[in-house]
Amino acid sequence: MTNRAVEVQVDPVRADTRCQPFVSKMRAAGLPDAAIGGFCLHFARYLGGGQATVAEDDIRPVEALPDADSFAGPAEAGRAALGRVAVIKLNGGLGTGMGLERAKSLLEVRGGLTFLDLIARQVLSLRERTGAAVPLLMMDSFRTAGDSAAILERYPGLAVAGLPLSFLQHRIPKVSADGAGPAAWPVDPELEWCPPGHGDLYPALATSGVLDRLLERRFEFAFVSNADNLGAVLDPAILGHVVERRLAFLMEAADRTPADRKGGHLCRLADGRLALREAAQCPPDEVGAFQDVARHRFFNTNNLWLHLPSLRRTLDKHDGVIPLPTIVNRKSLDPRDPSSPAVVQLESAMGAAISLLTPSEAIRVARRRFSPVKSTDDLLAARSDAYRLEADWRLALDVSRSSPPVVSLDPRYYTRIDDFERRFPAGPPSLVGCDALTVEGDVTFGRGVVVQGDAHLVAADGPREVSDHAVLHGEVRL
């Protein structure tokens, strides 16, 4: 199958020699052996096979999944297990695509509250409702830890005795695309490093000592999700399904819509195992099939459930490194400067463990459990009335909607957060009745603007304004 490309054979002598400069650099930075071993595994694959791909001929579409909304029975088992589950949030993203140089989770979402404020309140609300001291653990990157800790200090009751509030994701060297050596950038040496993708969750849990501390305190399960997904809260019914099915791994998947066509999807390997195929693993000539949402119906929400003793055993079996498929991302060394040298970032996806941890399953969840913010397009929707802030501090689609509005703002004027904020000085327009909003040109929105159905705004001749309380529908030339 595809993973024949992933598990490409490499001359070990040559691979060891080529990896040595990276080993020396990582050891000098104090990185543990598991992080170094994981990097060398992915680097050897990169040297031997360039970029691993997953071809259509090697997979089968997933036609149906158990629906989480039908899990009434397991809820009791889940409530009984609440004292044995931890919540882990991935908080390593800087939001550089929005012009940020700090944690994306520090962005305001509603009423002066950031993603981190809402996450803390979600966990505290869960504890208050259930009486279970569910721990919150943030997996920070070396660039997000400090600012994030300052926000969480606002919630002194959040920490659980014997456990930290956060642990650090590892960092790895960027690889020079010209020569395959460690990238060098003396002007800002920090830019020579990058996160290894959220697949690093597993070794980072182990090398930080957090996994063993959880196990020592009799925590058996972890619910993992992205910090920018405020729809992902701990659901006792899904936890109960994990308990009753004795699963090592569970993935929450949702129906793909045209807005999701460029993201990864769930599939089956030739041997029947579930697997995750990311966009970076799609052969260039198969993009059409990859983006066919009728063929590949489900995407990974990155809401995952782990059985911690099973994870410990799997890590021990592989010397602390879970051999996830390699994802090769080609970037500029300075993400803010496209003219900086070309580099390769070797990453892995934590959802890919669905084919390695056994037994594993995937379930279908409603869109309300997936409200991510990856761009200012998403942020506008999240701030609008298309989403509601529930009593448990979860951000959920309005009950009148089955999918989010598709927002496409002109990248020349809205990509960077400062530019975006200036063009919505009175807040977001109403999008609860909007199917799609497209803005071409430089448009500033007034107060109380309402968007209905499909709206396409065009400002062809310089900056334009939408007047207060305007109702927008169809094509509007300003």
Domain map (residue ranges) of the chain: 3-369, 376-477
The Cα 258–Cα 292 span in angstroms is 9
Please name the fold of domain 376-477: UDP N-Acetylglucosamine Acyltransferase; domain 1 (2.160.10)
Please name the fold of domain 3-369: Spore Coat Polysaccharide Biosynthesis Protein SpsA; Chain A (3.90.550)
Question: Which pLDDT score, from 0 to 100, does residue 259 have?
Answer: 77
Q: Is the pLDDT confidence value at 7 over 50?
A: no
Question: Which pLDDT score, from 0 to 100, does residue 119 have?
Answer: 97
Gap between the terminal Cα atoms of the chain: 53
Neighbours of 393 (CB within 10 A): 20
Q: Is the pLDDT confidence value at 100 over 90?
A: no
Q: Who wins on pLDDT, 4 or 268?
A: 268
CA distances from 132 to 4, 32, 210, 236 (A): 45, 34, 19, 12
Mean pLDDT over all residues of the chain? 91
SS3 assignment, position 190: helix
Percent of the chain at pLDDT > 90 equals: 78
Q: Is the pLDDT confidence value at 244 over 90?
A: yes
Poorest-pLDDT segment among 9-23, 141-155, 296-310: 9-23
Percent of the chain at pLDDT > 70 equals: 96
Q: Within 13 Å of residue 414, how many CA atoms lie on the same side as its CB? A: 23
Are residues 420 and 414 in contact, defined by beta-carbon separation less than 8 angstroms? yes
- Quick one: average pLDDT of 339-363? 95
- List CB contacts of 196: < 8 A, sequence separation 6 or more: 35, 38, 39, 42, 169, 170, 171, 172, 346, 347, 348
SS3 assignment, position 78: helix
Question: Which pLDDT score, from 0 to 100, does residue 375 have?
Answer: 92
